[in-house]
Structure 1
């Protein structure tokens, strides 16, 4: 079916998209499991585990409970799969025999359990669980729905006593006395052993091939409430002695033992450029702790820094060891795309697969990869990359959806900034594009700012194109994908060269494309993109409509109200509140509210702790008080992730408000 015969994308089409994630090879390499997530009829999401043999054209569904079933992991003999599921109301661990039958519940932890992994001998399952200091791992009882509601009601009637700096997070809300601990489950005896106990959050990384040592990450420092470091530790499972691998000055994770257990690879950095620091690839000698950096000359971001609004569920980023212990595989982010890379222990870098696409996850087995790949016109499928470098598609997700709707293929562009720097961007033509017609235009600005737009499916962008807009999205300085100097270049210069990069891109497309109506320009963005939207309309009136989402308007208050404000403010702007309040005010879009003449829609979640809603409240009241053209839409029970993982109906309403505003003014 050609695009002219297809219908335009709608906001509600968000509910038709199945999102794939977390491919996992079987131990024999003949098949793999994955997770498929989609919106359900209860204004939530359902995730299921699927299995596909490599010689089959179709995957088989393995879970059916209307719940979020995820994180499937094969036992070493391939006979069982452990996974986590919310089918009883909160995440617990379940065991499923690969020959079929009903899943067996393994855990009944009061606050849930998740992220299971097998020991190498298959006799134990290692997992994570939130526990209070006095909790007993072998005396855990899962509350029923009535008990959970009573507990929630009890908390609503009690004051929250706060005595720590890190007392909230956008992901978890207000913190309490629970900390994430690592638990070992004995499969034969059905008993639990708590392996960590420090009053901090612990993250399982790997277990050694001989099952004698546990690799985990945490901050065990007494000053952890004031630090952002995350170190790697080795726990001797016999003696319970803990050895520190890293230096207490950085953040490390994605750590893996080599096949023999003699080496450990991980990603991390020592905050050389604060939050704009590129990840490095390190290899440790497991016995001596000696560390080498393989990536010091690469100048690319290791891991997946791509931004999209339809990626749900975790997937492997690497590093993953080759069986020869001389090579490692990982995803890296480079020039608007992500790919799979190989590194030797000498630091030689080889591209295994990289096209104009988004590799969002992978699994490796003896020379063969399962790759999860998304493109701007496809939410994502799994592919097999064989030993000879040939790639073949394994799944055909969303076929009915893709056959029904027309999607715009982006044109990749390069702009010259006012100081000569090259800026990459993409342009979408509107649905039903006709030569000779003039179309309104929307500039999209990404959040972060240390992230990347690129070659991935983005429902919001496609929706704007479907509504008849030319859409431009770019990676101004501060974005990942273009090296360390580029990603660091916006720090202490918010609203400076990053702003002129965006304006140069707009100037360029207006000069290049005669089908854009320069009298009908719109701009939108979220988080840092919301800050930049506010900044733009405070410094130019060329845009006729703007939508600011989960924005920052006042850095003076952001310092104390955001879950990251106390460190992010200094990292990005160079000063904390008491060091130079005048400078923070100069960086604040609110200072320039008198200059704002562009009709502005403000969109914000009530439970956003990253960029709290008071940022939008200040901007709205200020503009409304001056009788400016402004409207404020508040989304109940929505946090900073509203556009990506919020309730489906709320996400649709958000998109409807955005398009309504642009339709009204453009």
Structure 2
């Protein structure tokens, strides 16, 4: 039926490139290459590249999970995190190769290694209970496996990807490399993270929410710790969400990313500076209506912890990623608030690393035809040289569907933007079914990045339509905030207007064979759509929300997300929650609906899918429920490879049955 496009099983062939790190002299690149082994399990190892010869070679073993590589200040040693000893610990290895040496032996493991400027100390994070001392793996403790009840008095007692929280928090540990001794720097039932050293190595800045009850006060502050006397100073006023502190080269100022929650979770991330002497916070991008962050969606697992806003060596500007109109690029933001594009293009720049002199940068790039590769960039003129071709060899044998951009107006005149993909093997004059894809968030962004799922649908003979409806990032603060309090309103109309536009302008679309799918918020919208129109002949809802009343109490974020997004809460206004619940309209559903849900999803728990399934089944409506064991909310992006393939195959079989 089709040519040689990408299949669901081709997931097993991909290499996923993450976390590029340039050596201080700019001559070497170390990065994480993630792949799927013969047992269909993820493995990750470090790779090194000589940037003079462009020779690439594996640097650590493939049979363990090595991540977070970090060059020492002089470039002779690399720290990384690995589970090769059985628990996640920090390891070190000479940058010219050799055997890796285990650095930490903490009973609870360690992660997030950071070098001190003189290379004599390492900072890391270790999970510890409030009064728990720092123990090594050899320290004996009662490890009884006897079944015990789980007891909590916390409001937030579970988290997606973690399960029931075990009352530990991330604490900062300082390791002296000469003695190997680790010193606990932080205390209390708080998470301390995103730490960074001052240029003189005498202070550490970090992010924490040390409010009276962090479960209720959803803020993050910047703190500074003086190492000589272990004194804490709180640098922000608990009135916002501030993250990723970075010291200026002269040590007087911190750069931050964040906002003051003016629009709750829909507030644009801005670039800030914090004067350490005066405490003054200055927003550098207040007049730039752009999200200063990478929020582009792809299903290639390229996301890693960001760098924040990185200072120029001249102390007068910052380098930062930002997302706009479906692309994420790298920008130069000066202290006098001038913004210049460093590297542009219709793509997602998902990572970047600068050498010590900032003459070159390495960027991680994903576009419609590139799952993820690295390029070397000259900071002087922006010229690029591609460094890796991670998937090129086998992708050359495949036919890809290249998305075409569309721009159109919604019924109220709002400008909308998206893409449409033709099926593989497209022939002029033939009619094809169309699948509408709806992203989650809702405050995220479909982009010019590669999407395996969309290519799989195109290979099966489907066109694919995807847009950024209001609520999405990339189109300014008013647009991203427009969905709040209006779920199922104009966001629904945006999706339907996109279908109208596509079917009018693409004569190859068969109007009688339309399908729709989406996950998380996209699952909510899929449920909403089938309860409000019979236009689609088949639908697949994934990790969805069906009932805001129960979501409020069962989701790890329900108690605040519901109020933020619907502008109503269970206690004061349950009627509004029910009004926006797809379950309320389940009697209207005629569209055959496949329900896909992960059993360990704590973000949109499986009871949400179960409620919709039983309500449909009781009415003898065409439906099917597929449960994915041991999977969480991120199944489609980072879940077990076998389950990811099963998920895609379930979708395809459903659409083939009804379209």
Query: Which residue pairs with 2:38 in the alignment?
Result: 41
Q: Deviations over 1:561-599 (max 9, x none)?
A: 000000000100011012111111110000111110000
8 Å CA contact 1:22, 1:316 repeated in 2: no
SS in 2 for 1:406: coil
Structure 1 gaps of 5+ residues are: none
8 Å CA contact 1:597, 1:628 repeated in 2: yes
8 Å CA contact 2:91, 2:101 repeated in 1: yes
Query: Which residue pairs with 1:278 in the alignment?
Result: 268
- When residues 594 and 143 of structure 1 are mapped into structure 2, their CA distance, relative to the original with a 3 A threshold, is farther
SS in 2 for 1:385: strand
8 Å CA contact 2:12, 2:40 repeated in 1: no
1:422 maps to which of 415, 419, 432: 415
8 Å CA contact 2:207, 2:221 repeated in 1: yes
Within-5 A mapping of 1:581-660: 581-660=574-653
Higher mean alpha-carbon deviation, 535-544 vs 254-263, is at 254-263
8 Å CA contact 1:492, 1:573 repeated in 2: yes
2:371 maps to which of 372, 379, 394: 379
8 Å CA contact 2:31, 2:47 repeated in 1: yes
Query: Which residue pairs with 1:23 in the alignment?
Result: 20
Query: Which residue pairs with 2:98 in the alignment?
Result: 101
Once the two structures are TM-superposed, the CA of residue 315 in structure 1 deviates from its matched residue by 5.1
Q: Deviations over 1:496-518 (max 9, x none)?
A: 00000010000011011111111
Query: Which residue pairs with 1:256 in the alignment?
Result: 246
Once the two structures are TM-superposed, the CA of residue 142 in structure 1 deviates from its matched residue by 6.2
8 Å CA contact 1:230, 1:250 repeated in 2: yes
Instruction: Give distance in 1, aligned partners of 2:17 and 2:549.
Output: 41
Once the two structures are TM-superposed, the CA of residue 293 in structure 1 deviates from its matched residue by 0.8
1:369 maps to which of 361, 367, 384: 361
- What is the TM-score when the length of structure 1 is the normalising length? 0.96
8 Å CA contact 2:5, 2:455 repeated in 1: no
Once the two structures are TM-superposed, the CA of residue 223 in structure 1 deviates from its matched residue by 2.2
8 Å CA contact 2:221, 2:242 repeated in 1: yes
Instruction: Give distance in 1, aligned partners of 2:526 and 2:632.
Output: 20
- When residues 250 and 390 of structure 1 are mapped into structure 2, their CA distance, relative to the original with a 3 A threshold, is same
Query: Which residue pairs with 2:311 in the alignment?
Result: 321
Once the two structures are TM-superposed, the CA of residue 286 in structure 1 deviates from its matched residue by 2.0
SS in 1 for 2:246: strand
Instruction: Give distance in 2, aligned partners of 1:83 and 1:313.
Output: 17
Instruction: Give distance in 1, aligned partners of 2:531 and 2:160.
Output: 28
Once the two structures are TM-superposed, the CA of residue 523 in structure 1 deviates from its matched residue by 0.1
Instruction: Give distance in 2, aligned partners of 1:266 and 1:360.
Output: 19
Within-5 A mapping of 1:530-569: 530-569=523-562
Query: Which residue pairs with 1:484 in the alignment?
Result: 477
1:511 maps to which of 504, 507, 518: 504
Query: Which residue pairs with 2:53 in the alignment?
Result: 56
SS in 1 for 2:55: coil
Once the two structures are TM-superposed, the CA of residue 100 in structure 1 deviates from its matched residue by 1.7
Stretches of 4+ aligned residues off by more than 4 angstroms: none
Query: Which residue pairs with 1:402 in the alignment?
Result: 395
Q: Deviations over 1:334-367 (max 9, x none)?
A: 0000100001001001111111111000011223
Q: Deviations over 1:164-210 (max 9, x none)?
A: 00101102111112111000111111111111112211103211011
Q: CA RMSD in A?
A: 1.5
SS in 2 for 1:229: coil
Once the two structures are TM-superposed, the CA of residue 380 in structure 1 deviates from its matched residue by 1.1
Instruction: Give distance in 2, aligned partners of 1:584 and 1:65.
Output: 49
8 Å CA contact 2:302, 2:350 repeated in 1: no
Query: Which residue pairs with 1:196 in the alignment?
Result: 186
Instruction: Give distance in 1, aligned partners of 2:647 and 2:563.
Output: 31
Once the two structures are TM-superposed, the CA of residue 317 in structure 1 deviates from its matched residue by 4.5
Q: Deviations over 1:441-492 (max 9, x none)?
A: 1000000000000100111111111110000000000000000000000000
Structure 2 gaps of 5+ residues are: none
Query: Which residue pairs with 1:528 in the alignment?
Result: 521
8 Å CA contact 2:551, 2:558 repeated in 1: yes
Within-5 A mapping of 1:175-186: 175-186=165-176
8 Å CA contact 2:303, 2:350 repeated in 1: no
- When residues 337 and 321 of structure 1 are mapped into structure 2, their CA distance, relative to the original with a 3 A threshold, is same
8 Å CA contact 2:44, 2:62 repeated in 1: no
8 Å CA contact 1:92, 1:112 repeated in 2: yes
Instruction: Give distance in 1, aligned partners of 2:194 and 2:400.
Output: 41
- What is the TM-score when the length of structure 2 is the normalising length? 0.97
